[in-house]
Amino acid sequence: MSVSTVPDRRWLTSAIALSRLAPPSRARYAVGAIVVDHGGVVLAAGHTGESDPHDHAEEVALAKLAGRCDLSRATLYSSLEPCTARRSRPLTCAGAILAAGIRRVVFAMREPPLLADCHGAEILRRGGLDVVEVGDLAYLVAEINNDVLGVTAVGCTPRCAPTRPGTHRTAAGTTGPAR
């Protein structure tokens, strides 16, 4: 795993800002994703619910690039760890990233085990990708997703979500909403 660079932090901050465009919902995380080539040119971007309520940010950005260019030297920036489980569609964002041939992913916040059991970082690393977690920016993602984290988590403040993911539990006797 490599460390983040100054441009990484800038692009990731842009992806986090993009997530604010997601339509408000307590049933899913607001996520922003940006694909940047090795020369620093934005190839595509997307956010949660961009054209359909079930849209995930990473899949939206990648769909705009489908078959158009070699992404092997591009980096995908996502405010949240790419998903490996979802109820809304069969293709996960981690799967879409692997299929697209992207070799590097930078994200800010690990997905808490509230809406789905996510292992995006591990799955992508196992796939040979360079995965960089910029955890000190995770609080920004948590703030934007305060409603989701607040209504789903029990005994936990949104601030603890990115740093203590193992402490989260869904409410007893309830099932978390679909992501």
Question: Which residues lie near Zn ion (CB under 5 A)?
Answer: 56, 83, 93
The residue (of 93 and 148) whose beta carbon lies closer to Zn ion is: 93
Diameter over CA atoms, the chain: 50
The residue (of 93 and 114) whose beta carbon lies closer to Zn ion is: 93
- DSSP track, 86-135: -SS-SS-HHHHHHHHT--EEEEEEPPPTTTS---HHHHHHHTT-EEEE-G
The residue (of 72 and 88) whose beta carbon lies closer to Zn ion is: 88
Could you count the other beta carbons within 10 Å of the beta carbon of residue 30? 24
* Closest separation in Å from C-beta 59 to Zn ion: 6
Interatomic CA distance for residues 98 and 101, integer angstroms:
5
The residue (of 11 and 107) whose beta carbon lies closer to Zn ion is: 107
The residue (of 56 and 104) whose beta carbon lies closer to Zn ion is: 56
* Closest separation in Å from C-beta 173 to Zn ion: 27
* Closest separation in Å from C-beta 86 to Zn ion: 6
* Closest separation in Å from C-beta 39 to Zn ion: 27
Interacting residues of 163 by C-beta distance below 8 A, sequence separation 6+ = 135, 138
**According to DSSP H, which parts of the chain are helical?**
6-18, 57-63, 93-100, 120-126, 138-144, 146-152
* Closest separation in Å from C-beta 92 to Zn ion: 6
